[in-house]
Amino acid sequence: MIYLWSTMLILVNVFWLMLVLFGLPGNWLIVISTCLFAWWRWEEGVFSIYTLIAIVVLAVLGELFEFLGGMHGAKRAGASWRGSIAAMAGAISGAVIGTFTIPVPFLGTVLGACIGAGLGAWSIEVSRGRKMDESVRCGVGAGLGELLGITAKVAVGIIIWITVAVAAFLP
């Protein structure tokens, strides 16, 4: 019976993983459902405490990658500290706006976050008196960094899912 329940957990986690593509906290939902399952079936020893700690650490890393992606991209492109912070704020607001204004699932959220990060870094750099080409480079760096951060978070989500799927069926 435990294999049936484990299979159901893996299928639910596939759904949670798909939510990551829409900018939702799917990695954390995988962690929560897996921890609840482990607590519910603790006597069977399906998941070790080390597996549970590992998926929590991975989820934190995924969030850091996404959260700091635009900021790091802007900084590497030469943006100031303020421009980097503006890229991070722009990514968050852009993701929300993009989700509702670009009616294509996943694409709206990602484009909104990348455009928001770029506009945030660009606007601060222009307002500080930098040349237009330098400001644009900072904005593009922020947008590309945000895209890499989102991609890294999705990759971490896949690693979390694989970790749980393998651990659910190995003794």
Dihedral, CA of residue 150, residue 154, residue 160 and residue 165, to nearest 10: 170
Q: What is the pLDDT of residue 15?
A: 95
Asked if residues 68 and 92 have their Cβ atoms less than 8 Å apart, the reply is no
Q: What is the pLDDT of residue 171?
A: 66
Asked if residues 131 and 102 have their Cβ atoms less than 8 Å apart, the reply is no
Full pLDDT tens readout for the chain, 171 residues: 888 999 999 999 999 999 888 778 899 999 999 999 999 988 888 899 999 999 999 999 999 998 888 888 988 998 999 999 999 999 989 988 998 998 887 889 899 999 999 999 999 999 999 999 999 999 999 999 999 999 999 999 999 999 999 999 886
Classify burial at 103, counting beta carbons within 10 Å of its beta carbon; exposed 0-12, middle 13-18, buried 19 or more.
exposed
Q: What is the pLDDT of residue 87?
A: 92
Q: What is the pLDDT of residue 66?
A: 87
Report the C-alpha gap between 99 and 130 in whole angstroms: 31
Q: What is the pLDDT of residue 140?
A: 94
Classify burial at 121, counting beta carbons within 10 Å of its beta carbon; exposed 0-12, middle 13-18, buried 19 or more.
buried
